[in-house]
Amino acid sequence: MRGPWWQKRLYDFGYRLTSPRQIIINILRNTDKHLSAEDIYIDAIKTNPSIGLTTVYRTLDLFSQIGVVQKFDFGEGRARYELTNNPLKKDHHHHLVCVNCKSIIDYTDFVNEELELMNKTEKALSEKYQFNIFHHTINFYGMCSKCRIKE
Amino acid sequence: MRGPWWQKRLYDFGYRLTSPRQIIINILRNTDKHLSAEDIYIDAIKTNPSIGLTTVYRTLDLFSQIGVVQKFDFGEGRARYELTNNPLKKDHHHHLVCVNCKSIIDYTDFVNEELELMNKTEKALSEKYQFNIFHHTINFYGMCSKCRIKE
DNA sequence: ATTCTTATTGAAAATGGTTTTCATTATCAA
DNA sequence: TTGATAATGAAAACCATTTTCAATAAGAAT
Ligand SMILES: [Mn+2]
Ligand SMILES: [Mn+2]
Ligand SMILES: [Zn+2]
Ligand SMILES: [Zn+2]
């Protein structure tokens, strides 16, 4: 049972360890950005030109389901993905989204206070509404400095 | 300058008051749900069968831009819309989303505490990252009681 | 009330991200 | 090494949303 945590995750769910899955994980491990399926595909074919975009979608779906990656929709008409435990990233963070150029900033300011409140809220909500809560998102939407200058 | 606030909004931006726009507003005024463009379209053609789905999309876009409606993406592959000042709804609220059946609950528990923290965070973020922040979202994702029973 | 400008509309076609299909290939337990 | 079957890639299908364009209607000017 040696190997990275995400391989254990695959194993536990009865999924196989394949080359495309390893390549995709490595791409996500080596970026601090929020990549789209196409971003990942373009990067992946540098390593193995025979990988299909379909497989990228399927893999990201699978990883989302077993909690290895998180899928986000910031309202640009395409999903973006982030490795759950990315060594290059701040651990738990929230997002600041530019509605104009769609750039995304990970922030951790007040994140401890946020988390404390979110935990309290989560507890109350799960009781009151009988919800089993898995995770949460906090997004701020606005306009970045670059976009404001251009206007 | 008489008339509802959203009509003033149209006027201020130089847009015209049209029949489809009135119909769509009325649909949103009379629901406490989070409607998709198609939901609205299906309801709209009951009042005026000649309305096109294209117009529904264009109208919702316009209303989003001038702040009359809020557009949400809960990760189902389609957008949902909510009137900004809906008399049937709690004023400022956040969302609880079932990842299985996609049902959405508006909650206001701890919303004052949340808002207070969000304001503080917003101030810090807008300074630190030179962002002009317009609005925010808080979503909890989980599984509703009905879906949990079925599993 | 009538005219005129142009914003708005509806139908049809196009777009583009994502999913489905299906025959082939690769993983891994036996 | 073998067999069962999970995973893959290419092509086609899907489907929410956008674009195009000619016809219509809102509302300012007359
Ligand atoms: Mn992030
Ligand atoms: Mn709501
Ligand atoms: Zn920007
Ligand atoms: Zn549910």
Three-class DSSP labels, B14-41 = CCCCCHHHHHHHHHHHCCCCCEEHHHHH
* CB of A106 lies under 7 Å from some atom of strand C: no
Q: Give the range of the structural domain holding residue A94, as residue numbers without chain letter.
A: 90-151
For range A36-50, the mean pLDDT: 98
Type of residue found at A24: I
Which pLDDT score, from 0 to 100, does residue B88 have? Answer: 78
Chain A contact present for B18, CB below 8 A? no
Task: Read off the pTM.
Answer: 0.92
At A82-113, the pLDDT tens digits run 999 887 777 889 999 999 889 999 999 998 99
Of A47, A73, A89, which marks where a domain is finished?
A89
Res. A1: pLDDT tops 60: no
Res. B125: pLDDT tops 80: yes
Of A51, A73, A89, which marks where a domain is finished?
A89
Interchain proximity A125–B109, CB inside 8 Å: yes
Residue % of chain B over a pLDDT of 70: 98
Residue % of chain B over a pLDDT of 90: 85
Ligand whose nearest atom lies closest to the CA of A138: 1
Per 3-state DSSP, what percentage of chain B is helix, strand, and coil (rounded to 5)? 45, 20, 35
Domain identity same for B76 and B100: no
Taking Cα atoms as reference points, which of A59, A111, A53 lies closest to residue A81?
A59
Domain identity same for A20 and A80: yes
Cross-strand bridge partners of residue B133 = A142
Domain identity same for A26 and A97: no
Taking Cα atoms as reference points, which of A118, A116, A94 lies closest to residue A104?
A94
Of A47, A72, A89, which marks where a domain is finished?
A89
Q: Retrieve residue A34's tokens.
A: 């929020």
Which pLDDT score, from 0 to 100, does residue B89 have? Answer: 75
Res. B1: pLDDT tops 60: no
Res. B2: pLDDT tops 70: no
Which pLDDT score, from 0 to 100, does residue A85 have? Answer: 85
In chain A, the number of structural domains is 2
Domain identity same for A14 and A76: yes
